[in-house]
């Protein structure tokens, strides 16, 4: 039986001064939630033909073998509890629960998807999960304060986002030796994504309103753009030309040109815009609005919000994951000890699953794609 948990706390967001970007009032989006049918994953309209789609390898909806032989699982790190809950997505039931390190934030699939890593920020360690058993393998990797863990698109470097020390560390993903370190001179280094060719990355600094660009090849800071507010999650557009950045302070999503290094558009979505997920057909971008308990759907072709899905009774959707076939959107409920499951066909919330305290960067595994960029399951 699924457990519905009442809200445990009221969450406040600090709104920083936003840059002078012309935009419609966010309140209009919040006051008029909409749902358009057919849903984004089944629309007949197509994007203009582009020579590039960085997510082309994720569009099949089919997990490649031998990973296809593994039972599907959703792994949920509970930051305050220091535990991981394992959910069977076929039954929506928690089937396992175990302790890891202190303050686990995200669960990152390895670049070759051979293991899962729980980043225990408070313990300065990674707990290694065996993908065959779904349980800790017994191995522990010691790296400083991992808030987030990524892998370069070519698989040659792991990146430890050391938010506490305002830097990112490039490491050998096999022996975990330090290759290089880049200082991020603004507080709150959080989430990142890579350019289409993998030569640079864009990383948010939550408490500074800055999106920084880092040269991955030479491992050095290469520029920045001020977007204001509280930037969080970062996602490259399917055609590889723009970066989308959630802004919890400004209540929407910044669209950033990484060549001109400027914000070219701001899309209001809802209070506490936080996590991002690209739809399986790569036509839409799902946005979790953590402070109002909703999901907004942005159409990549028009860069507008075309639907909004509510958590009945309120909630705090945080990080997002998509089922392999693209019909289910999974969201951790950061302040409600709950995982939410939405239908991407109807926008309906059809499951609430009780988990541990402050569930954060959950991952649905195995999933589609040739390789993982880490985080809580970003594939190309």
Residues of the chain with pLDDT under 50: 1-49
Contact partners, residue 336, CB within 8 Å, separation at least 6? 5, 6, 7, 8, 315, 316
Tell me the C-alpha to C-alpha distance, in Å, between residue 380 and each of 112, 140, 199, 205, 367: 11, 27, 15, 24, 11
What structural domains does the chain harbor?
A: 39-365 (2.130.10.10)
Question: Bridge-partner residues for 169, per DSSP?
Answer: 160, 181
Place of tokens 């406040």: 12
The length of the chain, given as a count of residues = 380
User: Which pLDDT score is estimated for 52?
Assistant: 87
User: Which pLDDT score is estimated for 40?
Assistant: 38
User: Which pLDDT score is estimated for 50?
Assistant: 53
Residue 37's nearest CA partner among 271, 259, 371, 345 is 345
Rg (CA), the chain: 19
Half-sphere exposure of 39 (CA within 13 A, CB side): 20
**Residue 91 is encoded by which pair of tokens?**
């039954």
What does the buried/exposed string (b/e) look like for 324-354 if buried means 16 or more CB atoms within 10 Å of the residue's CB?
bebbbbbbbbbbbbbbbbbbbeebebebbbb
DSSP string for 150-196? EE-TTSS-EEEEEGGGTEEEEE-TTT--EEEEEE--SS-EEEEEE-T
pLDDT in tens, 335-377: 999 999 999 999 999 999 999 999 999 999 999 999 999 999 9
Place of tokens 């058993």: 133
pLDDT in tens, 136-186: 999 999 999 999 999 999 999 999 999 999 999 999 999 999 999 999 999
Query: Quick one: residue 69, left, alpha or beta (phi over 0 = left, psi -120 to 50 = alpha)?
Result: alpha
What does the buried/exposed string (b/e) look like for 246-267 if buried means 16 or more CB atoms within 10 Å of the residue's CB?
bbbbbbbbbbbebeeeebebbb
């Amino acid at each position: 039986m699924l457990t519905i948990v009442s809200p445990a706390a009221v969450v406040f967001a600090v709104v920083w001064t936003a840059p002078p970007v012309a935009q419609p009032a966010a309140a209009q989006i919040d006051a008029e939630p909409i749902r358009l049918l057919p849903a984004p994953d089944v629309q007949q309209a197509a994007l203009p033909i582009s020579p590039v789609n960085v997510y082309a390898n994720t569009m099949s909806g089919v997990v490649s073998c031998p990973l296809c032989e593994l039972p599907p699982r959703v792994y949920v790190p509970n930051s305050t509890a220091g535990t991981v809950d394992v959910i069977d997505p076929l039954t929506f039931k928690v089937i396992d629960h175990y302790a890891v390190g202190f303050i686990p934030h995200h669960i990152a699939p390895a670049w070759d998807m051979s293991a899962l890593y729980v980043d225990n920020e408070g313990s300065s360690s990674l707990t290694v999960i065996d993908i065959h058993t779904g349980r800790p393998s017994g191995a522990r990797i010691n790296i400083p304060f991992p808030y987030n863990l990524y892998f370069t698109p070519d698989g040659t470097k792991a990146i430890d986002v050391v938010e506490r020390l305002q830097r990112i560390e490039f490491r050998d993903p096999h022996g975990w030796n330090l290759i290089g370190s880049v200082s991020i001179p603004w507080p709150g280094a959080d989430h990142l994504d890579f350019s289409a060719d993998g030569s640079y990355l864009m990383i948010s600094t939550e408490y500074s309103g800055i999106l920084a660009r880092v040269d991955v090849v030479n491992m050095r800071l290469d520029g920045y753009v001020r977007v204001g507010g509280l930037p969080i999650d970062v996602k490259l557009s399917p055609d590889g030309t723009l970066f989308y950045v959630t802004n919890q302070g400004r209540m929407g999503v910044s669209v950033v040109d990484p060549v001109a290094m400027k914000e070219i558009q701001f899309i209001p979505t809802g209070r506490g815009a936080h996590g991002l997920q690209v739809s399986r057909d790569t036509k839409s971008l799902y946005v979790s609005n953590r402070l109002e308990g909703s999901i907004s759907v942005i159409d990549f072709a028009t860069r507008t919000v075309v639907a909004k899905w509510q958590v009945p009774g309120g909630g705090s959707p945080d990080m997002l994951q998509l089922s392999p076939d693209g019909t289910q959107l999974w969201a951790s409920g950061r302040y409600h000890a709950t995982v939410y499951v939405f239908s991407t066909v109807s926008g309906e919330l059809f499951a609430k699953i009780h988990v541990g305290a402050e569930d954060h960067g959950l991952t649905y595994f195995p999933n589609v794609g040739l390789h993982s960029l880490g985080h809580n399951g970003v594939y190309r």
